[in-house]
A and B are shown apart, each in its own frame.
Chain A
């Protein structure tokens, strides 16, 4: 048994419950750095284990509180991890280099050269984003990215849209109507306090549907986030929402793109 090397994917549950030790844990963590889907799965499982913790609640002795508060009062805190406070346009991936005036905001069906270049730039950024080293606090919970991004980018009906975010930053959407799927990425979004996130919406004739929270930006890039299930007449919206997202937008739209 000791010699067996399980397929990393199957270890997500054991990892989420700290049932991996030593080398097993280290190996899985290396795998996590490359596997977006596992990262997302572990994050979901951690939400479940948090409930296991809740079920085990036991009130600690009162003295512990005093001791702890005395200790933290004299403990220096860690600074936040900075993600290139300025959007770092030099990171070879401004979303649309020098070309994002109004006409670019509309619908662009035929992948013109500039548009393709924009998509490539975003992809380059995505690659940087995916390969960058980041401090892993809690893993992201966005859609699995790599595979779906490839699906959209290789779709024969690939369309690319871009728009300015009202509060700062540029958003790019690559979309395939055939696959009813889009890839969203943004550059230079204003940083938000920890209690808030950017949330994407698909807004159609019916109810608005939440389409994902943007992960924390890395190197000035937010995303990619994949949203599936596009419907005819949908528009894509972006709002700032409380940390866990909401079922419907509760703040003004800071970006709207007709898809």
Chain B
């Protein structure tokens, strides 16, 4: 396995992943295994937080990675980070799966508690750099922004459902979601 091309300066982890994805696009299965090893935990964690059911979460996670394998050539490094690309696929799949199951049978979830796995110590990945940072940045949001963001992202609820859960108008939820995410983006320093 040849290392990704160096460009003289310290390689960003994202750039590394992008180089791996470029190899995946050419059918490099070893590169794909490496991509999996690096992003399986965030993908699985995200899917599980939305889907909840362990075996269904595994199924969806597998679908996500098959999609990554199939569509690697469609990843455009100039338009977003590899992690954003894969996390977006994962979250969309999880949410779509939950909603289609939901249409078949009511989802078994009674509490409105956001499902970020803060206390889910047993299975979470240690040494998670994102977690502390995200926790801090979520803490900097207003309560409504934070609830709207966590219910939507970790809970997989639509904004109308979030509005119902929080008892506020849907329009308010929309603006809080947007403002909250923008603040989160700026706090996390991921803006271009």
Contacts and interface: CB of A to CB of B under 8 A. Distances in A.
Nearest to A2: B160
Contact of A57 (B33, B73, B125): B125
Contacts of A241: 7
A48 B190 contact: yes
Nearest to B85: A138
Interface in B173-190: 173-182, 184-185, 188, 190
A1 B19 CA distance: 46
B41 to A, nearest CB: 4
Given A44-B185, A48-B188, A55-B135, A4 B170 contact: yes
B11 interface: yes
B87 A137 contact: no
A58 B41 contact: yes
Interface residues of B, number: 103
Given A19-B159, A19-B162, A138 B27 contact: no
B106 interface: no
Nearest to B5: A195
B178 A60 contact: no
A19 B160 CA distance: 8
Nearest to B99: A21
Contact of A10 (B120, B130, B178): B178
A80 B74 contact: yes
A44 B117 contact: no
Interface residues of A, number: 76
B69 A14 contact: no
A16 B96 CA distance: 14
Most chain B C-beta atoms within 10 Å of own C-beta, residue among A51, A135, A247: A51
Nearest to B163: A1
Contacts of A61: 58
A10 B171 contact: yes
B32 A141 contact: no
B62 A51 contact: no
Interface string A196-221: 11100000000000000111100000
Contacts of A4: 170-171
16 contacts: A13-B174, A14-B178, A17-B153, A46-B80, A47-B80, A50-B86, A52-B46, A56-B46, A58-B120, A59-B44, A60-B58, A72-B29, A72-B69, A137-B74, A194-B75, A247-B9
Interface of A: 1-2, 4, 6, 10-14, 16-21, 24, 43-61, 64-65, 67-69, 71-73, 75-81, 135, 137-141, 193-198, 213-216, 241-248, 250-251
